[in-house]
Amino acid sequence: MLLSIFLDIILPLIVLAVIIIIAILLNKSIQKNMNKSIKETIEITGTPQVILKENYCSEKEMVFLNALHKALPRDCISFPNVGVSKLIEPKGNLNDYKLVLDKYVDICVFLRKNMRPILVIDLYEESPVSQQLKKFDNNVLAVLKEVKIPVLHKKIQSEYIIEELKIEILQAMNSTTVAYLKDKIIDETKRNN
């Protein structure tokens, strides 16, 4: 009878207690790792083993950037290779923020007046190899969607028609931004007349 009580009641309670203790220990370990400083760095000893990167952007990206600067309204400015951590801030815990902390977007368009990000442009090439090497990160897409920054996926081309690029950009932007830019253009036109 004691063996039956032990097997039916006490053993399951012991197993449950062990599982709870393991879960608590794992939770504390995970929390400890997540709460470490984001900017923990190791000091370089000796001469840094680096070389100068000869080009910040590829030639194809530069062709697109030149076309983009011509296509953007005057109230906008764009920069290549912008860190996602410069576009968002953590809210609550740091878990989601840490997932995109070291990620970059190809191009980000900002409003000049307050440097508010209004559009991200993801450049891609047609070749299957290039597409596999550089897939747009779903975590980045999720955080940009959360903060309402639209993403325009743009195929790299050898030439761009500026008017078509203008239309693509305006269609990709959210309606509030387009309305703001429209009002700015109308005001500017009235002042010039």
Structure confidence at residue 81 as a pLDDT band (50, 70, 90): very high
**Same domain, yes or no, for 77 and 112?**
yes
Q: According to the model, what pLDDT value does residue 29 have?
A: 79
d(CA 177, CA 174): 6
d(CA 9, CA 170): 68
**What range defines the domain where residue 85 resides?**
59-192
pLDDT, tens digit, 9 for 90 and up, residues 3-61: 677 677 777 888 889 999 999 998 887 777 666 555 566 787 888 888 888 888 889 99
Query: Looking at residue 111, what DSSP letter applies?
Result: E
Average pLDDT over residues 124-134: 66
Nearest to 112 by CA among 78, 80, 77: 77
Does residue 40 lie in a domain region?
no
> How many beta carbons lie within 10 A of that of residue 174, not counting itself?
13
**Same domain, yes or no, for 150 and 89?**
yes
**Same domain, yes or no, for 13 and 71?**
no
